A and B are shown apart, each in its own frame.
Chain A
Amino acid sequence: MDKKDYKNVYVFAEQRGGVIQSVAYELLGKARDLADALGEKVVVLLLGSDIKNQAQNLIEMGADEVIVADSPELKDYLTEQYSQVVYQIIQNNKPNIVLFGATTIGRDLAPRLASRLKTGLTADCTRLEIEEKEDTHEKEFRMTRPAFGGNLMATIICPDNRPQMSTVRPGVMQKHVREIGRQGVVTMFEPNFDKSKFKVKLLETNMNCKCSDDIADAKILVSGGRGVHDREGFDKLQNLADVLGGMVASSRAMVDAGVMDHCYQVGQTGKTVRPNLYMACGISGAIQHLAGMEESDYIIAINKDKYAPIFSAADLGIVGDLHKIVPMLTERLKKEMEK
C-alpha cells in the first residue's frame, strides 16, 4: 500500500427515515477544516432511497463532492448492505480519512468496515487535528478521545494504514455556516450487491419517543438530576426553562428512574450538548455527565452538597435548595422580562 495514493476526507452522511442527521453536518464542518489543512477535498457519502435531491444541501454545508448511492436496498440502515456499498467506494476511491457519527449506526458500520479494510478506527473522538510531525514535517492526522470512563484523554494515530477512520459523537463538532449556491459535484454510484450475504432482515422499527425538539440544538438548557426528585420537581425546571426560552434536560439518574425520557439525557450514554447556558439543578456531576456538557459556554450549578463534583465544572455555583431557588428565580425573571 502506498499512502500517497490515499487522498481526501470522506464523511459518511447518516440519514434516518430519509432525513440527514445533524451529526453529518457537524462532521462535514470538521472535514472541511481537515481537508483545508491537508490541501485535499471533502467528499460526502450519501446512502439511501430517493435521497439524491439532498446532495446540494451537503454541498452548501461544505462538501466538494457528494457520492450518492440511491437504492431501495438502502432505505433503512442494515449493516451488510451499507458495508458493501461503502467498502466498494473506499476500495475504488482510496480516501485518506473517513469520518462517521458515533451513533448506533456509525458505531455498527465503522468497525465492520475497518475490519474489512484491515485498517485502524478510533471511536468517539472529541478532537481531530492535522499536525506536522516533528522529525519529517509530514502532516499527521491525530485523533483524541476520552478513555477509562473519561478519566484520561488519549491521542491516537494510524501511521501506516489507510484510510484513517474515526467516529465522532454527535454535538461535539461545530457545523459550518451554510453557503447558499455553493458549487460541487454530485456523483451517482451504482452498488454491486452480493445479496447472498444479506442474512439480517428488518421486520419493524418503533419510534421510542416523539421528542419534537432536540436538546442538542437548544441554546439554553435547564437540567435536572437526582435532587429534583420527581415529575413535580421537573415541572419547576420546565417553568424556568419556559421563561428563559430553553429546554429541560436530565441526568442519567432521572432517566433510569423513569422520570425523564432517554432523549433528554445528557452525558456519556446520552447526548453531548454545548448550549450558551447550562443550568445543572440537583446534579451531582459524575464524570459521565460532565463529559456531555462541560463544553457549554456558561454553566450554573445549584446543589445542596457543596462538595458535589458539578461545582468543579461550573462557572457559577450556588450551594442551596433548588426547590426554593428555581421557583423564586422563575418569578424574578418573569418580572425582569416584563421590563
Chain B
Amino acid sequence: MNIIVCIKQVPDTTEIKIDPVKGTLIRDGVPSIMNPDDKGGLELALRMKDQYGAHVTVITMGPAQADVILREAFAMGVDRAILLSDRKFAGADTLATSYALAGAIKTLDYDLIIAGRQAIDGDTAQVGPEMAEHLGLPQVSYVIDAEKTAHGTLIVKKENEDSTQILEVEGKCVLTVLASAFKARYMNVAGIVEAYSKEVEVWGADKIDVDESKLGLKGSPTKVFKSFPKAMKAPGEIHEVSEEEAVEIIVRKLKEKHII
C-alpha cells in the first residue's frame, strides 16, 4: 500500500502578534511548525503503515526552509519526502496550489492520499477537495478514523457539526483529517539522527505533470485586494470592585440596555 501525505509548513498562529502602531503582523520570532491537521494526517498514515505495512511519502510545497518539516516527518517514520519548490509556484491561491500538488502526485504510485483538513494560517480547508477534483478522485473531509476492509475498501468516520457519519469508499481517494482525532507520535531518537542523512527530493515545475500557465500567481483566480488589522473596538469600562458593587453595576447596565 502506497500512501501520500500532503503537509504544509505554517507559522504558529497562536504566537503571532499585531504591531499595534503599524497594524502589521509581527513574524519575527514566530516559530514555523508542521500544520497540526497535516500532522494528524501523517499520524493516520503511519498507523496504517504499522498495521498494514504501507510505504509513506510526504509532499509539501514551499520554500527551501520547508525542508525542516520533511526531516521531522522522516524522524516520525515516513519513507520518502518530496519538496515542491520553484519560483513558478509562488503566489498560488488554493486552486493553483492544489493543481501543483495534483501534478506532482500524478507522477507517483499511490493507493491513498491524506491531507490535513485545513492549515492554521489560511484556514480555508480548500486544498484537499480541490486537489481531489484535479485528480478525479473521491474525497472524504473532516475524517476522524479510517480503516481498510478485507475486500479492499476503506471505512471512514467523518465528524460533522451535529453528527458522525460512517462512509465506505471504493478505490483510491483523498481523505482530509482532523488533528484532534490523531495524536501524533513523537520523533524517535534514532529517527532524528537518521532524518538528516536521508534525501529530501526537491522538485521544480519541470518535474511534475502540469500546464505551467496554471501555476502560481497567474494560475490563481483569487487575488488579495487588501489586508488590514482587525478594527479594534472602543475600550469598554472595567471595574475592580467588591462583589456587591459589581452586581449593582451589572444590574444597572442591564436596565440601561433594556435587557431586563
Interface residues of A (CB under 8 A from B): 16, 79-80, 103-105, 107-108, 110-112, 114-116, 118-124, 142, 146-161, 197, 199-209, 211, 220, 244, 262-263, 268, 276-277, 286, 294, 297-300, 302, 306, 311-321, 324-325, 328-329, 332-333, 336-337
Contacts and interface: CB of A to CB of B under 8 A. Distances in A.
Interface of B: 11, 13-14, 16-18, 25, 93-95, 98, 120-134, 138-142, 155, 158-171, 173, 220-230, 232-233, 235-241, 243-244, 246-251, 253-254, 257, 259-260
Contact of A124 (B123, B250, B259): B123
Contact of A155 (B131, B165, B167, B225): B225
A80 B138 contact: yes
A201 B236 contact: no
A55 B171 CA distance: 37
A204 B166 contact: yes
B223 A156 contact: yes
B199 to A, nearest CB: 32
Contact of A108 (B139, B169, B246, B251): B139
Q: Which of A108, A263, A297, A317 has most B Cβ within 10 Å? A: A108
A204 B260 contact: no
Contact of A104 (B122, B160, B166, B248): B160
A118 B99 CA distance: 10
A302 B233 CA distance: 18
A314 B236 contact: yes
Interface of A is mostly: mixed
A201 B154 CA distance: 10
B123 A337 contact: no
Given A107-B141, A152-B25, A277-B254, A199 B160 contact: no
20 contacts: A104-B159, A115-B95, A118-B221, A146-B123, A156-B222, A157-B223, A158-B221, A200-B140, A203-B165, A276-B259, A277-B257, A294-B233, A316-B239, A318-B249, A318-B250, A325-B243, A328-B244, A329-B251, A332-B248, A332-B251
A2 to B, nearest CB: 16
B140 to A, nearest CB: 6
Contacts of B163: 205-208
A246 to B, nearest CB: 10
A100 to B, nearest CB: 11
A209 to B, nearest CB: 7
A104 B161 contact: yes
Given A149-B13, A149-B120, A332-B251, A325 B125 contact: no
